[in-house]
Structure formats: structure tokens, C-alpha cells
């Protein structure tokens, strides 16, 4: 399902007030990804939703943890692929493996543990000529790291993806509060849950029974994905394709439909139910293609909370103009 209109014209409110209750009525649990933490989190009580913060659901194992630290430490000043960086990566991975065996439970403790163990082990793997340079760079960049990133490297107390999905099924609505983190961590948290449901559908052939609400969709699957967005875009595309057979409705919400401001074409092609309100001027042509019988100037004059509804879920063969009230939700 796709919901599109210019900023401030009621997309998130429509999803909160109408789409989530509808999905609940249809028997689905709902997982909402709240990019800024201010569209759904403040309404958690009214939605009877459980809020989980990004760090409560994200755990990076030793290998991805080492890659993550290196990325955050900007390669410790080395060029990527260099022998010194490879040595450092191998040591970091080993140390993170030991840390997970040692069941370290606080991020401060983990940080201190990694720093001292890496310093102890570097002399065993780095050529003497480069040792002091390597140690100096490691210390300098490591100490500049945001202490919070170590929260993502601790397994203890984390909700596993399976538990989050079960929680949504049992309790109804789970909001993932992504606020306060960089886009990269937000997308990683999304991928953690997405990979689990992908595995459930594609490998186990199990029904999911939970809907994903992806607000601010261009952050996850833009027209031209970059970096981690390439992974999230591919993932959303395959979730949409598999989700039809395995009970995983996907709701994407975006200000733009096409081009620079829009969502990725591969994801757009998978949308079969549309809600289109007043659109961005750059989307006039796309809106005209999608709504051939609708006067485009009239569409552009629609007030907040008005959408044209059409596609598989719409009972009418022509788009229906609908509006909704935000009272009581």
C-alpha cells in the first residue's frame, strides 16, 4: 500500500488513525518504523502500542560489529584494504568474539575491554616498524568514537527480531523509535527485523501475519539508493514480492512518488493500493498517469486529510475521494 502527498498534508495521521486500526481489524500485528520518533511514538498509548528503542532491538555480532567500529572510526585513518587495517579488523573481530563469550553487559565496560584487548594484541600481528603508528592511530580514533555505538555491540538484554515480531502479533502494535541515531543505524535496525521476516517467508515458508509501516520511505528506498540504502531498497522490494503470499502487508509513506523526491521504481511497481492527496509539483505528471480521470488542478487544491483511493483494496473501479477525521486518535 502506498500513501503519497506533500509534506504536512496528513499522511502519518491517516496511517495512525485509519490504516493501523484497519490492519489490526484484519488480524495483523503491526510494526511501525518511526524515523524521527515524533509521528507515532507520542501516540503509543492511544494505539495501545509498545515502543521499542533502536538500541533495544539492534545487536551487531563480532564480524559486523568490527566492520561497524572501523566505519565509525573512519578506518582509523588507514586506506581501506591496507594491510594494517586488515590486521586491525582481524584483531577487533577476535576481541569482539571474546567479549561476547565474556557476556559483558554495559557499554562502558565493553568499550574499555575492547580498547585494552586490542592494544594488547596488536604487537602480536603488526610488523614492529608500524606498531607505534598503528597503536597511536587506534587510540586516537577509538577514543573519539561516540560511546553509544557500543550499545549496539552488546547482546545481553536485546530483543531478538523473532521476539519483536511475536510481540507485534500478541500485543498488536510495536513502534520502533529510531530517533537519536544516524541514518545508517536506523537502516541497520530496519534490516535486522526485515532479514528475519525475509528468512521466515523465503526459507521457512511461514506466514508472517504482521504488517510493516515504513514512514518517510525515501529514507529507506529512494529513487537512487546510496550505501546501505541499496540493501534496504532491495530488501523492501523482496519483502513486497514475498509478502503478498506470506501475510506481510507493507505500507510505504512518502511525500514524492517519482524521481528525486520519490521512492525507488522497483518498490513503486509492487504497490497495489494507492492513496494520493495533493502532490508535489514535480509529481504532477505521475499523478496524472495514476489518476487519469481526475482533474490535476483539483487534486492540487485538496485539503489536508483528503486522498484519492484506488487499487486492489478499493471496492470501486474508479478512484474514490475520501477524507478522514483525526478526532479521538
Ligand X SMILES: Nc1ncnc2c1ncn2[C@@H]1O[C@H](COP(=O)(O)OP(=O)(O)OP(=O)(O)O)[C@@H](O)[C@H]1O
Q: Which does 305 bind (CB under 5 to 8 A by kind): ligand X, Mg ion, none?
A: ligand X
**Shortest separation between residue 114's beta carbon and ligand X, angstroms:** 39
* Number of residues forming the site for ligand X (CB under 6 A): 14
Report the sign of the C-alpha dihedral through residues 279, 270, 203, 66, in that order. Answer: negative
**Shortest separation between residue 253's beta carbon and ligand X, angstroms:** 7
Instruction: State the residue number with the nearest CB to Mg ion.
Output: 12
Distance from C-alpha of 32 to C-alpha of 56, rounded to nearest angstrom: 15
Report the sign of the C-alpha dihedral through residues 212, 175, 234, 60, in that order. Answer: negative
**Shortest separation between residue 37's beta carbon and ligand X, angstroms:** 13
Using the minimum distance from each CB to ligand X, give the nearer residue, 126 or 302.
302
Using a 10 angstrom Cβ sphere, with 0-12 exposed, 13-18 middle and 19 or more buried, the burial of residue 54 is buried
Angle, alpha carbons 2-172-174 (nearest 5°) = 70
Stretch that binds Mg ion, among 11-19, 76-84, 267-275, 294-302 (CB under 5 A): 11-19
Using a 10 angstrom Cβ sphere, with 0-12 exposed, 13-18 middle and 19 or more buried, the burial of residue 268 is buried
β-pair partners for 53: 177
Q: Using CB under 5 A, which of 12, 219, 232, 255 touches Mg ion?
A: 12
Q: Which does 324 bind (CB under 5 to 8 A by kind): Mg ion, ligand X, none?
A: ligand X
118-127 contacts at long range (C-beta below 8 A, 24 or more positions apart): 118/88, 118/91, 118/92, 118/142, 121/91, 121/94, 121/95, 122/87, 122/88, 122/91, 125/87, 125/90, 125/91, 126/84, 126/87
Q: Using CB under 6 A, which of 49, 305, 307, 308 touches ligand X?
A: 305
Helices (H) and strands (E) in the chain, counts: 13, 9
Instruction: State the residue number with the nearest CB to ligand X.
Output: 305
Q: Using CB under 6 A, which of 1, 2, 4, 10 touches ligand X?
A: 10
Q: Using CB under 6 A, which of 13, 192, 219, 270 touches ligand X?
A: 13
Residues 309-328 that bind ligand X (CB under 6 A): 324-326
- Mask: binding to ligand X, 253-282, rule CB under 6 A, as x and -? --x---------------------------
The answer to the question of residue 228 lying near ligand X (CB under 6 A) is no
Distance from C-alpha of 127 to C-alpha of 133, rounded to nearest angstrom: 11
| Strand pairing class (320-323; 173-177) | unpaired
Q: Which does 13 bind (CB under 5 to 8 A by kind): ligand X, Mg ion, none?
A: ligand X
Interface with ligand X (CB under 6 A): 5, 7-13, 255, 304-305, 324-326
Amino acid at each position: 500500500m502506498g500513501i503519497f502527498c506533500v509534506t504536512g498534508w496528513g499522511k502519518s495521521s491517516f496511517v495512525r488513525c485509519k490504516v493501523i486500526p484497519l490492519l489490526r481489524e484484519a488480524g495483523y500485528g503491526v510494526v511501525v518504523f518511526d524515523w524521527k520518533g515524533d509521528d507515532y511514538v507520542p501516540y503509543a498509548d492511544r494505539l495501545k502500542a509498545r515502543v521499542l528503542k533502536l538500541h533495544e532491538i539492534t545487536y551487531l555480532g563480532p564480524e559486523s560489529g568490527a566492520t561497524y567500529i572501523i566505519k565509525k572510526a573512519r578506518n582509523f585513518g588507514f586506506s581501506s584494504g591496507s594491510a594494517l587495517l586488515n590486521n586491525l579488523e582481524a584483531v577487533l573481530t577476535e576481541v569482539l568474539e571474546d567479549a561476547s563469550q565474556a557476556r559483558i553487559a554495559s557499554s562502558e565496560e565493553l568499550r574499555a575491554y575492547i580498547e585494552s584487548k586490542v592494544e594488547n594484541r596488536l604487537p602480536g600481528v603488526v610488523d614492529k616498524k608500524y606498531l607505534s603508528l598503528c597503536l597511536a592511530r587506534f587510540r586516537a580514533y577509538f577514543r573519539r568514537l561516540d560511546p553509544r555505538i557500543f550499545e549496539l555491540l552488546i547482546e545481553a538484554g536485546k530483543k531478538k527480531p523473532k521476539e519483536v515480531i511475536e510481540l507485534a502479533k500478541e500485543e498488536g502494535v510495536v513502534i520502533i523509535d529510531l530517533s537519536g541515531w544516524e541514518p545508517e543505524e536506523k537502516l541497520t535496525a530496519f534490516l535486522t527485523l526485515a532479514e528475519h521476516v525475509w528468512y521466515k517467508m523465503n526459507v521457512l515458508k511461514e506466514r508472517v501475519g504482521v504488517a510493516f509501516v515504513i514512514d518517510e520511505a525515501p529514507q529507506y528506498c529512494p529513487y537512487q539508493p546510496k550505501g546501505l540504502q541499496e540493501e534496504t531498497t532491495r530488501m523492501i522490494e523482496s519483502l513486497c514480492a514475498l509478502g503478498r503470499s506470506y501475510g506481510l502487508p507493507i505500507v510505504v509513506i512518502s511525500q514524492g512518488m517519482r524521481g528525486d523526491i520519490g521512492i525507488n521504481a522497483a518498490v513503486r511497481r509492487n504497490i497495489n493500493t494507492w492513496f494520493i492527496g495533493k502532490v508535489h509539483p514535480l509529481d504532477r505528471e505521475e499523478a496524472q498517469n495514476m489518476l487519469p480521470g481526475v482533474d490535476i488542478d483539483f487534486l492540487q487544491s485538496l485539503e489536508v486529510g483528503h486522498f484519492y483511493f484506488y487499487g486492489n483494496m478499493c471496492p470501486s473501479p474508479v478512484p474514490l475521494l475520501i477524507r478522514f477525521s483525526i478526532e479521538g486518535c
